[in-house]
Amino acid sequence: MVQRCTWRMDKARKIATEATAMADQLEGDLYMAKRTLAALNGNSATKEPVKEGEKETEDEVDRELEIEREMRDDEAAEALNATLTDAEAEAETEASPNGTLSGYPDDGTTPENATFEALLKAGTLQLKLVDRPGYAPDQAIEPGPFGRKTDVFEHKELFKKCYPRFFFNGEAKEWRRTAPAGWTGQPPAAA
């Protein structure tokens, strides 16, 4: 009975999380649609429509040019973001000699390691280097640039199945394991 309730709570929590994410996405889509519509219409509600055969006024031409300029600027910004993302991905791939962000080789025998690497590359999670005097340095898991604190909690079973295994450090309240020799952590952000 308790297991069934726990299962239902987990399922309800997952559905609520997905619904919240979907609502956020729809809210963003609605905002962008309103913004685009406003840009396309300008103040057309107060202006009379242009009749057939009449030339557009200079204000309308200027408005159309401004919209086209904004669209080009948006496209240029997206291209720049994509370029930066590609460069960051290359830098992250070069973070360790074997091409993995965790520093441990992925021989394919443990699918959890591949899943963990995918979370690192997606930016949901990231690893940080923790130096301990008198001991080998540790890798500690924390939310990545596109992640949340709950992502760490939601993937705790994955951390237990990774090789080498992560252990929960109760003092620091984070998942850790010994870092591989020579691992320096994520590459620093471009200054």
pLDDT, position 190: 45
With beta carbons less than 8 A apart as the criterion, state whether 166 and 141 touch.
yes
Are residues 120 and 85 located together in one domain of the fold? no
pLDDT at 87 over 50: no
Q: If you average pLDDT over residues 74-100, what whole number do you get? A: 58
Does some domain include residue 165? yes
Say yes or no: 76 and 138 in one domain.
no
Q: Do 83 and 128 share a domain, yes or no?
A: no
Instruction: Name the β-bridge partners of 176.
Output: 140, 167
The answer to whether residue 184 is domain-embedded is no
Looking at the domain assignment, is residue 50 inside a domain? no
Residues 11 and 85 in one domain: yes
47 lies in some domain: no
- Domains identified in the chain, total number: 2
In a domain, 98, yes or no: no
Supply the pTM of this predicted model: 0.48
pLDDT at 45 over 50: no
Rounded to the nearest integer, the mean pLDDT of the chain is 78
The answer to whether residues 29 and 81 belong to one domain is yes
In a domain, 187, yes or no: no
Q: Are 125 and 156 found together in one domain?
A: yes
Nearest to 95 by CA among 167, 191, 164, 179: 179
The alpha carbon of 4 is separated from its chain's Cα centroid by a whole number of angstroms, namely: 33
Question: Looking at 34-48, 68-82, 153-167, which range is the least confident one?
Answer: 34-48
pLDDT(92) > 80: no
As a whole number, mean pLDDT of residues 7-30 equals 83
Are 38 and 79 part of one and the same domain? Answer: yes
What does the alpha-carbon distance between residue 42 and residue 179 come to, in Å, rounded to a whole number?
A: 57
Q: CB atoms < 10 A from the CB of 89, how many?
A: 12
Query: How many angstroms separate the CA atoms of 63 and 44, rounded?
Result: 11
Q: Tell me whether residue 140 is in a domain.
A: yes
Note whether residue 100 is domain-resident. no
Q: Do 36 and 84 share a domain, yes or no? A: yes
Boundaries of domain holding 117: 111-178
Q: Are residues 33 and 72 in the same domain?
A: yes
User: In this structure, are 123 and 151 located in the same domain?
Assistant: yes
